[in-house]
Amino acid sequence: MARRRPGLPRRQTLVGLWLLLSGVSLLGGALFALWLDGLVQPRGLARWALWLGSFSGGGTIFLVGLLLERQLFTPLRHLQVQLARLVANPDARDDYPPEGWLRGLGPDLTRIREAWRDDRGRLANARAEGARSAARIRQELEALLQVLDTPLLLCDRHRRLLLFNPAAETLFEEAPGLGLGKRLEALLPAASLEDALTQLPEDGSPREVLVPCGERWLRATLRRIPGSGGETLLTLVDATAAWASELGTGAALAELLPALRRHGAGLTSAADALSHLPRDGAGELQRRLERVVDEEGRSLADHLERLGETVEALQRQAERLAPLWSNDLWAALAERLPEGGPTITPIGMPAWFKGDAPALLEVLQALLAHLVEHTGRSRFDAEVCLGNKRVYLDLRWQGRPLTEERLRGWRGERLARLPLSPTLGEVLRQHASDAWSLADPDGEHARLRLPLPALERVGAPRPRTPPRPEFHDFGIAELPPPDAELAARPLRALEIVAFDTETTGLELRAGARVISIGACRIVNARLLASETFDLRVDPGRAIPPASTAIHGLTDEDVAGAPPPAVALPRFRDYIGDAVILAHNAAFDLLAIQPPDGGVRFDMPVLDTLLISRALDPSLDGHDLDSLAERYGLSFPPGSRHTALGDARVTAELWLSLLPRLEARGIDTLDDLLALQASAFDREDASAS
């Protein structure tokens, strides 16, 4: 164990020495007074003088110590706290103005603080003009990335992710390897991709490679960005559906074409032979050729029928037929209808189906216009009915059904706003659909019905989550290589994962288990709001009520959660190559490394409790609540004693301690680990 650094003794030691010395002096004075009183036996004023003189030494020591504590030592501690706040945040509140014998420093300290703030203000104004342009470019980039449907990844020369867009986040929704600063091979561990990246030309020429991703295959297009220092852009397309089409419908088409050519050649040969037969004496040969023509014709008709079915299946599998939620389609149709025109009211249960949304909207809008003109109605019901492998879109009105002759005329209408101006019937055939009209059982209503391919998906779509606050950080490209000597890496260049745990109890070596893990990521000395890990764990045993009173988690809250054997490897994957940070890390390390866990967390560990104790050994209170109060940090309501809430405050505490460490010349991980070791104490494994 490393020795504690030499320096000023702790306040408790000074107070103890002061009280001990005062007590010894008073006791010695009392014994001395008793001895002299018995020896001399003074009377009156002399006796009072004897006793006062004997107690004067101890009393003086006590009063001088009390005076120093009130007028010097306490003001010095308050000044130390205030200076620590100012170093961490120049705009921190001023709770401890100079007092006691340091009261005269008040104007000077105020002057220094105001000058510091003025300098920062002038510097901020000087940078504002350039920052506006950068902010505008960033907003345009973020807006573009938000609406782009193609998944994009941008990595630096060391294969660390600098950027990804929401489409990539959707594609890798369940992948723990997606995150700013994380390695590309943690997301797509494919040797083919690694080889393609090493051989990528520097002039920006694209290269394509198929990459396995779980049960899917992704077609990755790679481009080296010229003049960027080795940064690479990856655009990804899910090629699984295309391959299925090529191996299914495409293969069926490939098999049909030779047969069609063969039957066509047979018909041509038979017809040519028939044309050259003499008119007399060729009855038997003619009958044989006519039989060949008949057989080849039937076979050709059969194969043409199969070809038509295959083409229709191919159309149904086309990428333009995407999953649609019926309520979304009705809402989009209502927005397209002119003000004061017809209105639709969705009724019944919504459902999923497949369709080309822009084309269907044109079809429905055209049909509504015809229905208004034909029926004279302006209000229609829109209903979805489930059939056998089909979904029926119905437009319902009060009146009689339409005739087939009228529908035939509507099917021939061209939709001029669609590419190539297809007819309404052609769009329906593209969906393997048609349109017909029928009467309702009540005898008062009729409906126009469009059958469409159904989906097995059930339930409404999940609400759209707001965009991530951070999905790009180009500063990652300036970080040292991940495989460089970690001990010599600057503190601001560290990738750090701050984490915290909640457990079934404090006796981890006696069987207590982790029930919740929360973590957040720090990259480039910046806390990423969206790069979080929050997972509950089933401990396989009951949670004591005393523990529930602290963190609020009950047995019902962790029921169905993954066990430690599943949760801990997922947390290890989230950490990746980062350094881990915790407050009182000794406890949390025990929690995530149970004897039967099977996962080792062997990366460097930083502990804000030890760092704070090493920076301020003379101050009391290094628990998380005291340090949050000292540095002006706040817990959002309900987040204290939750794993993710405490992890976020621990991360903010690290960012507050960082300027103070740099002010003392502690710039690298090696320097910090040495400082941290100097403050280690055996009591840390059970501190809170």
Alpha-carbon span 592 to 508, nearest angstrom: 10
Helix orientation angle between 240-247 and 283-317, rounded to the nearest 10 degrees: 170
Minimal CA–CA distance to 488: which of 674, 274, 258, 236? 674
Asked if domains 150-319 and 322-453 share a fold, the reply is no
DSSP 472: B
Copy the structure tokens of residue 88: 């961490």
Q: Is the pLDDT of residue 246 over 50?
A: no
CA 75 to chain centre: 46
pLDDT per residue as tens digits for the range 515-537: 999 999 998 888 887 788 999 99
Alpha-carbon span 453 to 435, nearest angstrom: 14
Q: Which one has a higher pLDDT value, 134 or 381?
A: 381
Q: Which one has a higher pLDDT value, 193 or 515?
A: 515
Alpha-carbon span 74 to 86, nearest angstrom: 18
- The pLDDT mean for the chain works out to 80
498, 582 Cβ separation under 8 angstroms: yes
What is the pLDDT confidence band of residue 40, given thresholds at 50, 70 and 90?
confident
**pLDDT the model gives residue 580:** 94
523, 491 Cβ separation under 8 angstroms: no
Alpha-carbon span 613 to 274, nearest angstrom: 106
Q: Is the pLDDT of residue 463 over 70?
A: no
Sign of CA dihedral 553, 559, 563, 568: negative
Domain 475-687 has CATH 3.30.420.10: yes
Q: Which one has a higher pLDDT value, 235 or 136?
A: 235
Alpha-carbon span 332 to 669, nearest angstrom: 56
- CB atoms < 10 A from the CB of 463, how many? 6
DSSP 183: B
**pLDDT the model gives residue 421:** 81
CA 474 to chain centre: 18
CA dihedral 67, 73, 76, 81 (to 10 degrees): -130
Over its C-alpha atoms, the chain yields an Rg (Å, rounded) of 40
Alpha-carbon span 677 to 208, nearest angstrom: 50
675, 612 Cβ separation under 8 angstroms: no
Copy the structure tokens of residue 489: 């890496």
Domain layout of the chain by residue ranges? 11-147, 150-319, 322-453, 475-687
Q: Is the pLDDT of residue 408 over 60?
A: yes
Q: What is the mean pLDDT of residues 20-27?
A: 79
What is the pLDDT confidence band of residue 91, given thresholds at 50, 70 and 90?
low
User: Which of 21-35, 147-161, 179-193 is least confident?
Assistant: 21-35
Question: What's phi and psi for 269, nearest 5 deg?
Answer: -65, -45
Q: What percent of the chain has pLDDT over 90?
A: 22
User: Which of 97-101, 275-279, 358-362 is least confident?
Assistant: 275-279
Q: What is the mean pLDDT of residues 209-221?
A: 80
Q: Which residues pair with 450 in a beta bridge?
A: 393
Alpha-carbon span 644 to 516, nearest angstrom: 9
**pLDDT the model gives residue 300:** 73
Copy the structure tokens of residue 436: 């017909």
CA 161 to chain centre: 14
Helix orientation angle between 608-615 and 643-663, rounded to the nearest 10 degrees: 30
Question: What's phi and psi for 471, nearest 5 deg?
Answer: -140, 15
DSSP 71: I
**322-453 topology per CATH:** Heat Shock Protein 90 (3.30.565)
What is the pLDDT confidence band of residue 62, given thresholds at 50, 70 and 90?
confident
Q: What is the mean pLDDT of residues 434-446?
A: 90
Question: What's phi and psi for 85, nearest 5 deg?
Answer: -65, -45
H-state helical runs in 206-248: 240-247
User: Which of 165-174, 183-192, 219-228, 314-323 is least confident?
Assistant: 314-323
Which is it for strands 514-523 and 496-503: parallel, antiparallel or unpaired? Answer: antiparallel
Which of 3.30.1280.10, 3.30.450.20, 2.40.40.20, 3.40.50.2300 would CATH assign to domain 150-319?
3.30.450.20
What is the pLDDT confidence band of residue 655, given thresholds at 50, 70 and 90?
very high
Q: Which long-range contacts (CB under 8 A, 24 or more apart) does 598-601 make?
A: 598/565, 598/568, 598/569, 599/568, 599/569, 599/571, 599/572, 601/572, 601/575
DSSP 687: -
Q: Which residues pair with 213 in a beta bridge?
A: 216
Task: Calculate ∠ Cα 161-165-166, nearest 5°.
Answer: 130
Q: Which one has a higher pLDDT value, 321 or 11?
A: 321
Q: What is the mean pLDDT of residues 229-237?
A: 90
Q: 3-class DSSP state for residue 378?
A: coil
Q: How many CA atoms does the CB half-sphere of 431 hold within 13 Å?
A: 28
**pLDDT the model gives residue 437:** 93
User: What is the helix (H) or strand (E) element at residue 255, kind and residue range?
Assistant: helix 249-275
User: Which of 215-219, 395-399, 603-607 is least confident?
Assistant: 215-219
